[in-house]
Amino acid sequence: MTFSLTPTASQPAEFYPSAKDLVAARKALVSILPLGLVYVVLHLAEYWAQDIAECAEGRAVAASDALDSNANICYLITKPIQQLDMENARLKIVRVKFTTVSHDQGWASDRSGQGTYNGWTWFEAAILRRTQVVPSIPALDEWMALASEEPINMDVEAEYDPAAEVKDAKGSARWMIQKNLRASDEFRQHTVTWEVPVGSASSATDTGAGDGAGFIERLTPGDCIAVVVRALYPGWCNHVQRVKVVVSYGLA
């Protein structure tokens, strides 16, 4: 007997419920369960709507190619955060998952940190909010349209307005997603999941991953999530193969 892992015409495609599907499921379940329990069931089943953004354009982002050897490239931008206003239902973001496939330049003059995540190539997340830059919305919209098609610089010369970025509680406009393993030329896949409340399973020191504290709480309908590729200091280069972002929504 043989088994095939390759999808065939007879195998159904993976199903992702829409926001309307969530409302329909709630309506069906509330006839047999208390409303509070319905929300628990839907959450535990991870019956969530999803927005998926993915870019698989190979790109070497070298610090030496940027002003002050500080490379800052928007590699991927998501669709605007959804809003639902039907049948007394409201969407809430329950999870944002990032997948990166990348490596640095594969060497470092200082070998003391080799095999750790203490390097100078990494990925950041930014929340872009158009309403924060009303005077320059036409230019920002043009930049965001380009960013949705291909990686693009995040600098003034590229018509980017940093005022669009939402800041965290400490005044920073960026959230660390993932660092590359130092001095390794092997592509590695890292998956970073942010939820509310923030988990404590991963440590940026041990795994190179950020915890996303405050990120989901600051997202509002209409915002876009940007994944920014970073490389700092001469010689450092972030080789990116692929990035994927999955935003999951539940009912509130």
> What pLDDT shows up at residue 202?
46
Q: Are 237 and 104 in contact (CB under 8 A)?
A: yes
Name the more confident of 150 and 232.
232
Q: Are 227 and 101 in contact (CB under 8 A)?
A: no
At 185-196, the pLDDT tens digits run 999 999 999 998
User: Which residue ranges make up each domain of the chain?
Assistant: 13-47, 51-251
CATH of domain 51-251: 2.60.120
Give the count of beta carbons closer than 10 Å to the beta carbon of residue 52. Answer: 13
Name every residue whose Cβ is closer than 8 Å to that of residue 166 and which is 6 or more positions away in sequence.
Answer: 126, 127, 128, 129, 132, 173, 218, 223
**Tokens found for residue 49:** 């709507």
Give dist(CA 75, CA 54) in Å, integer: 10
Fill in the amino acid letter for 168. Answer: D
Q: Out of 141-150, 197-206, 221-230, give the one with best mean pLDDT.
A: 221-230
Q: Are 20 and 208 in contact (CB under 8 A)?
A: no
Name the more confident of 135 and 196.
196
Q: pTM for the whole thing?
A: 0.88
Name the pairing type of β-strands 224-232 and 175-179: unpaired
> What pLDDT shows up at residue 133?
65
Give the count of beta carbons closer than 10 Å to the beta carbon of residue 208. Answer: 24
Q: Rounded mean pLDDT of 117-145?
A: 82
Helices of type H across the chain: 19-29, 35-44, 137-147, 204-207, 215-218
> What pLDDT shows up at residue 157?
58
